[in-house]
Structure 1
Amino acid sequence: MVTTIDVVEFEIGSARYALDIQIAREIVEMIPITRVPRAPAYIAGIINLRGEITNIIDLKTLLGLESRGESEVQKIIVLVSEAANGSNVGIIVDDVNSVIQVPETDIEQIDDAVSNEAYVKGIIKIGEQESSDGKSKSDLIIWIDIQKIMREVVSNADM
């Protein structure tokens, strides 16, 4: 039996990304964010989410990615507190597409040296099909390691 992994698929710029569903607490529409003075560029600010102060991280800035800019479809993926060392943290993404189940056979593992530097757990191949020139073609989704990113952000903040 093939094992499947549930992920939240989202977009930043024109690229597709995914994170483990079990570390996403909820997805909320973009709401006004209060800037925090002298915070690093990747800290968008804080929000009051149903009485809880939640730190908001601009994932595109943190990872050095291109974005579509602010738009009406931007979302905040709020992480479970365990993923962020007990803190309430949300990440801004350009759009959330869906929650998908991916068979492990559709996940391409990448070299450890690359994954350690790029925060990538693997590459998900979706909709593999044969193109007109006889080559196999599929959409690619970068499966990112949000927990590793959060560990590094928290350890850098402690310095």
Structure 2
Amino acid sequence: MEAIDKAVIFQVGAGEYAISIQDVISIEKEENITSVAQLPSYVIGITKVRDELIPVIDLENILYNKTSTSSEHNRLIVIRQEELSFAVLVHAAKEIIDVKAEMVKQAGLTVYQKTSYFTGVLNLEDRLIMMIDPKILLDSLAGIKDIKDYMNKQPV
């Protein structure tokens, strides 16, 4: 069967997660992140990617309530959304795979408000990978409107 999409597979904590390649601008090394005071705990700071200032979100903080530690394997997955481009800090960007319709199963967790960004499970032969919708993820974060306003006021 034909692939319906491609997805970037990455690791956060002990889990594997995926985001559609259509939402991903690039995958970058974790470097040159500037801390900004008074932002929510899930925001590590801001960085410049292709001459655009973007916030960096600690996905481990959101998913596991832990702060990520710096590592040479960490990567920033840069995501473009209509209102705001942002990066998520992950422990490792592992691979890009073709996603076929029969591979995607319902997560069952989407009805739980705090995990509504899990839109399905990739059911692979030897592992299960949670699919994340970055728009729903971004919209679910407390204080995101203030961050969007802050980022829109920053000069490039």
TM-score by length of structure 2 reads 0.81
Q: Which has a greater percent of strand?
A: 1
Aligned to 1:27: 27
Q: Is the 8 A contact 2:119 2:132 kept in 1?
A: yes
Q: Is the 8 A contact 2:58 2:68 kept in 1?
A: no
Give the count of matched residue pairs.
144
Identity of aligned residues (%): 26
The CA deviation at 1:55 is 1.0
User: RMSD in angstroms over aligned alpha carbons?
Assistant: 2.1
For 1:45-124, list aligned pairs within 5 A. 45-64=45-64, 69-82=69-82, 85=83, 87-111=84-108, 112-114=110-112, 116-118=113-115, 119-124=117-122
Bigger Rg, which one: 1
Q: Aligned equivalents of 1:110 and 1:6: distance in 2?
A: 19
- Structure 1: state its 5+ residue gaps: 129-137
- Structure 2: state its 5+ residue gaps: 147-156
Indicate the SS of the match to 1:10: strand
Q: Aligned equivalents of 1:50 and 1:110: distance in 2?
A: 35
The residue identity in structure 1 corresponding to 2:122 is I
User: Any idea what the Cα deviations from partners look like across 1:73-127, whole Å, max 9, x if unmatched?
Assistant: 1000111142xx2x2311100010111012111111133414x43121111111x
Q: Aligned equivalents of 1:49 and 1:71: distance in 2?
A: 20
TM-score by length of structure 1 reads 0.80
Counterpart of 1:148 (choices 136, 142, 149) is 136
